[in-house]
Amino acid sequence: MDEKYNELAAMIKPQPTTVQGLKYFPSLEPDVSNDQDAPIGNYWISQLEVSDANLDVVRSVVQALGTNLLAALEIGVNRNGDRSMSRVIMDERPKGSFYFGVDIEDKSYLDNESENTYTIRTSSADRALILDRMRQLGVGLLDLIMIDGWHSVNMCVNDWQFTERLTDHGVVILHDTNTHPGCVALFEAVDENLWIKQRFCLEDDFGIATFRKRI
């Protein structure tokens, strides 16, 4: 699996950036469009989109945060039913903590004010709208950011910018880090002097990664 990862990583042409936490903007052009979501060569594996190991990584993050998990933002919501990472976050977070899901499809069937669970139907590119809705709901800072939306370079870098609202103890989880262009490029671009970054599920899996601030 790392063969595909390394192939993509070798295509990165570092460009200047002002995005917090990144060493550079990780352009893949002209080899791969910075708007491409699918793995190069339309490469897919036979593994489940969300593996048991992926769910275990998300669960371990939620459990490690414990009562410090007061607010979570998820980009790409409940795509795999009972196997969704969304279910782990929503079901295993501390009671009363805030969950906000962002998806281009309507996921309002998940909304439950009594459980502090909300969704919004929009692209994660509309960060101003998302942050405004968070403010309306009384949330400013985030303890968990789950990124599993459109996996192009441009959108992954966009989604990374929500880390401006991440608490010092907060965690970012990024799915599809083995073969999807934006996820590979973003992982490489995140500054390891500022962030502790780890990849998991490297074999026969779409991959998943975590990021924690160095403080």
Q: Is the residue at 174 inside a domain?
A: yes
In this predicted structure, the answer to whether residue 80 has a pLDDT above a threshold of 80 is no
**Best CA proximity match to 76, nearest among 152, 2, 23:** 152
Return the C-alpha torsion angle 97, 102, 108, 111, nearest 10: 0
Q: Is the residue at 41 inside a domain?
A: no
Give me the mean pLDDT over the 140-152 stretch: 97
- Domains: count for the chain: 1
Residue 30, preceding peptide bond in cis (omega within 30° of 0): yes
**pTM above 0.75?**
yes
Q: Is the residue at 58 inside a domain?
A: yes
Range of the domain at 170: 2-34+47-213
Q: Is the residue at 40 inside a domain?
A: no
For residue 7, which phi and psi values (nearest 5 degrees)?
-60, -45
Other Cβ atoms within 10 Å of 150 Cβ, number: 21
Per-residue confidence band for 20, with pLDDT thresholds at 50, 70 and 90: very high
CATH of the domain at 18: 3.40.50.150
Per-residue confidence band for 114, with pLDDT thresholds at 50, 70 and 90: very high
Q: Is the residue at 39 inside a domain?
A: no
pLDDT at 87: 95
Q: Is the residue at 77 inside a domain?
A: yes
d(CA 180, CA 153): 9
The tens digit of pLDDT for each residue in 154-187 reads: 999 999 999 999 999 999 999 999 989 999 999 9
